[in-house]
Amino acid sequence: MRSRYSAFAVGDADYLLRSWHSSTRPGRLRLDPGQRWTRLEVLGVDRGGLFDTAGTVRFRAHYREAGRPGSVDEHSRFVREDGRWVYLDALPD
C-alpha cells in the first residue's frame, strides 16, 4: 500500500501498473501532473501478513490540486499474485 502511494506521489505509473492484479489492471494509466500527493494515513488493516494470501487496507490519501487540499478515502483489497502483493480493487463503502 505505502509503495503504491509513493508511486502516485512521484508519478510512477509503470510501478502502479506492475503492482495491480492482472484481472483488474487497466491497459494504461494516466496520472494528473497537477495533483500533488502530500500525506497518507493508514486507517485500518485486516490480514495481509506473512502467511496470508489476501488482505485489506483502509486509507486516506491527501493531495493538493490547484492550490486546494483534497483527500481520497478507500478500502482496498490486496492479494498475492505470483508471490507478490498486488492491488485488486476497492471495496464499496
Kindly report, residue by residue over 40-81, the tens digit of the pLDDT.
999 999 999 999 999 999 999 999 999 999 999 999 999 999
Bigger pLDDT: 77 or 93?
Answer: 77
pTM: 0.93
CATH C-level class of 2-90: alpha beta
Average pLDDT taken over every residue of the chain: 97
Q: What does the pLDDT read at residue 1?
A: 81
- 34's enclosing H/E stretch is none
Q: Is the pLDDT of residue 93 over 90?
A: no
Hey, where are the domains in the chain? 2-90
Could you tell me the CA-to-CA distances from 90 to 56, 65, 67, 74, 93 in Å, in that order? 9, 23, 27, 6, 9
Q: Is the pLDDT of residue 89 over 90?
A: yes
